[in-house]
Amino acid sequence: MSDFDFDLFVIGGGSGGVRAARIAANHGARVGIAEEYRFGGTCVIRGCVPKKLLVYASSFSESFEDAEGFGWHVPEPRFDWARLIASKDLEIARLEEIYARNLDLAGVEIFRSRATLIDPHTVELSTHGHRIRAKHILIATGGRPFVPDFPGSHHAVTSNEMFDLPRLPERAVVMGGGYIACEFAGILNGLGATVTLVYRGKRLLRSFDADLGAHVTDEMRKKGIEILTETDVAGIERDGERLTVALTNGETREAGLVLAATGRVPNTEGLGLERAGVSLGRRGEIPVDEWSQTAVPSIFAVGDVTDRLQLTPVAIREGHAFADTVFGAQPTRADHVLVATAIFTQPEIGTIGLTEAQARAEGQVEIYRSTFRPMLHTLSGRDERMLMKLIVAKDTRRVLGVHIAGHAAGEMIQMAAIAVKMGATKEDFDRTVAVHPTASEELVTMRTPLPEPAGAA
Ligand code: NDP
């Protein structure tokens, strides 16, 4: 009989931890898991899932307007924030229950408690007060929002609070220019708030292809969002319900809400990692190798806490690969190359592969780009355009990047990602007969590359 209580003990019941626990148990391991809050993690409880529900809710305001162009007479619509949040809460509770039930069905023992490391094989459960010995320990504690320090920064909320606001503000200031800032600016605007987005850099969504950021910025402005770039929040003062936001350009904005969407940091504080021999990286992340193993052989980590790619499906892949490797005798590395992603801005973004700038740095490329008015807006009259862009290697003809902004871009990119991952060439795209009439047919009908910019080799 082993002197361990479990073969695997998982700390953190989010996407990565739950997947690893279930698969390890399916491979026959004795598995325990501790979660101090709710099963499902950021994605299910206060991230991807409720965010997308809010995106759906916010997009109806335009749909009501667009319907007029198709002959509908829509009476003045009214929106009820409390009702939306109550429906959202029911759905999240349902999903959380499924997560816990699946763990149970797999035979995983659940501990609803905070867990900290004591040594490389021991964790302590704070609510139960007892210690557990495990042969392997997996840290899957995710990340949390980061708010910079400035006068009045404590008046700002983070994405964590956005899903449970008591009421929708009439005016909001959103700070940041990444995924979360741009997604919430769209949600708040669509639900009827007056939104100012304040970003310290030059270009929103700067980690994506430059055309995507520029296109979405233009479209967000057309929808009425005020976007201030090269500007930061200098301070926030509160007077009752009213917040006065001082900006670095000398202006102020009044708001009922300030959202700081200024990045996320790994959740490693107070976990006892140093005590167990795991030293942290510069941003507080847990350094791991390609097998998700830390410098301490019995301790592994997956998901946002490792600060590799902060995406749910990536955490799931990492958790699964870890369990197959350690408990299934199937050595598997999670693949972090060519990961497609969708950003639920309005309009939406779908993207995979190299940006134009990255591809040009690696070799000669052809760029195919098209912007057009989608069919929906021929009758709706809305001034909104879609963007499609292909980055093609001149020598191998491989499609190195696909970038889409517009309705259903997230759905389209999943399909394009299969082709790109398989190494499809531009000619493979061209040989594929278009699906008509759709917006995605543009992906296989672009024939003329853009002229080379002056100075390009
Ligand atoms: P991002 O890293 O995407 O963006 C953070 C933004 O905050 C950047 O614009 C950054 O500016 C700005 N910022 C950082 N520090 C400061 C500061 N001190 N003062 C002012 N501005 C600052 O993080 P998010 O919080 O938007 O998202 C976190 C992660 O969550 C993403 O990287 C993504 O992987 C994941 N996510 C994925 C989603 C999806 O798949 N659809 C949706 C939401 C989140 P600068 O650019 O100058 O550094």
At 416, which helix (H) or strand (E)? Answer: helix 409-421
Q: What is the pLDDT of residue 129?
A: 78
Domain 6-144+265-327 has CATH 3.50.50.60: yes
Q: Which of 25, 60, 50 is nearest to 160 (CA)?
A: 50
Q: What is the pLDDT of residue 456?
A: 61
Looking at 128, 130, 155, 436, which residue is catalytic?
436
State whether the Cα torsion 446-447-453-457 is positive or negative: positive
Which residues, including other chains, have CB under 8 Å from residue 25's CB and lie 6 or more apart? 31, 106, 107, 108
Q: What is the pLDDT of residue 291?
A: 98
Three-class SS of residue 424?
coil
Query: Residue for token digits 């999670």?
Result: 334
Query: Please, are residues 387 and 377 in contact by the beta-carbon 8 Å criterion?
Result: no
Token couple for 393: 């290697």
Q: What is the pLDDT of residue 88?
A: 98
Does 158 sit in the ligand 1 pocket, CB within 6 Å?
A: no
Does 169 sit in the ligand 1 pocket, CB within 6 Å?
A: no
Q: What is the pLDDT of residue 455?
A: 66
Query: Please, are residues 17 and 33 in contact by the beta-carbon 8 Å criterion?
Result: yes
Question: Which residue type sits at 14?
Answer: G
- Cα separation, 150 vs 161, in Å, equals 19
- Report which ligand 1 atom has the smallest distance to the Cα of 159: 25
pTM, rounded to two decimals: 0.96
- Cα separation, 366 vs 448, in Å, equals 9
Name the residue at shortest CA distance from atom 4 of ligand 1.
178
Question: Domain map of the chain by residue range?
Answer: 6-144+265-327, 153-262, 341-444
C-alpha dist (Å) from residue 227 to 181, 187, 194, 262, 424: 11, 15, 11, 16, 38
CATH number assigned to the domain with residue range 341-444, chosen from the 4 options 3.40.50.720, 3.30.465.10, 3.30.390.30, 3.30.60.50: 3.30.390.30
- Report which ligand 1 atom has the smallest distance to the Cα of 342: 41
Q: Which of 114, 128, 93, 109 is nearest to 5 (CA)?
A: 109
- Report which ligand 1 atom has the smallest distance to the Cα of 179: 26
At 351, which helix (H) or strand (E)? Answer: strand 349-353
What superfamily in CATH does domain 153-262 come from?
FAD/NAD(P)-binding domain (3.50.50.60)
Does 201 sit in the ligand 1 pocket, CB within 6 Å?
A: yes
Query: Please, are residues 339 and 314 in contact by the beta-carbon 8 Å criterion?
Result: yes
Does 206 sit in the ligand 1 pocket, CB within 6 Å?
A: yes
Active-site annotation holds for 436: yes
**Ligand 1 probe mutation, 161, 262, 343, 411, most atoms within 8 A of CB:** 262
- Cα separation, 221 vs 388, in Å, equals 20
- Cα separation, 187 vs 191, in Å, equals 6
Q: What is the pLDDT of residue 2?
A: 76
Does 11 sit in the ligand 1 pocket, CB within 6 Å?
A: no
- Cα separation, 63 vs 57, in Å, equals 10
- Report which ligand 1 atom has the smallest distance to the Cα of 263: 25
Q: Residue 24 Cα, ligand 1 centroid: separation in angstroms?
A: 33
Name the residue at shortest CA distance from atom 15 of ligand 1.
262
Token couple for 82: 């409390």
Does 184 sit in the ligand 1 pocket, CB within 6 Å?
A: no
* Equal fold, 6-144+265-327 vs 153-262: yes
Which residues, including other chains, have CB under 8 Å from residue 271's CB and lie 6 or more apart? 11, 116, 117, 139, 141
Q: What order of strands is seen across the sheet that includes strand 349-353?
A: 341-343, 349-353, 399-405, 386-393, 365-372
Q: What is the pLDDT of residue 457?
A: 52
State whether the Cα torsion 261-99-335-339 is positive or negative: negative
Q: What order of strands is seen across the sheet that includes strand 257-260?
A: 226-228, 194-198, 171-175, 257-260
Query: Please, are residues 308 and 336 in contact by the beta-carbon 8 Å criterion?
Result: yes
Q: What is the pLDDT of residue 441?
A: 97
Query: Please, are residues 110 and 21 in contact by the beta-carbon 8 Å criterion?
Result: no
Tens digit of pLDDT for each residue in 20-36?
A: 999 999 999 999 999 99
Residues of the chain with pLDDT under 50: none
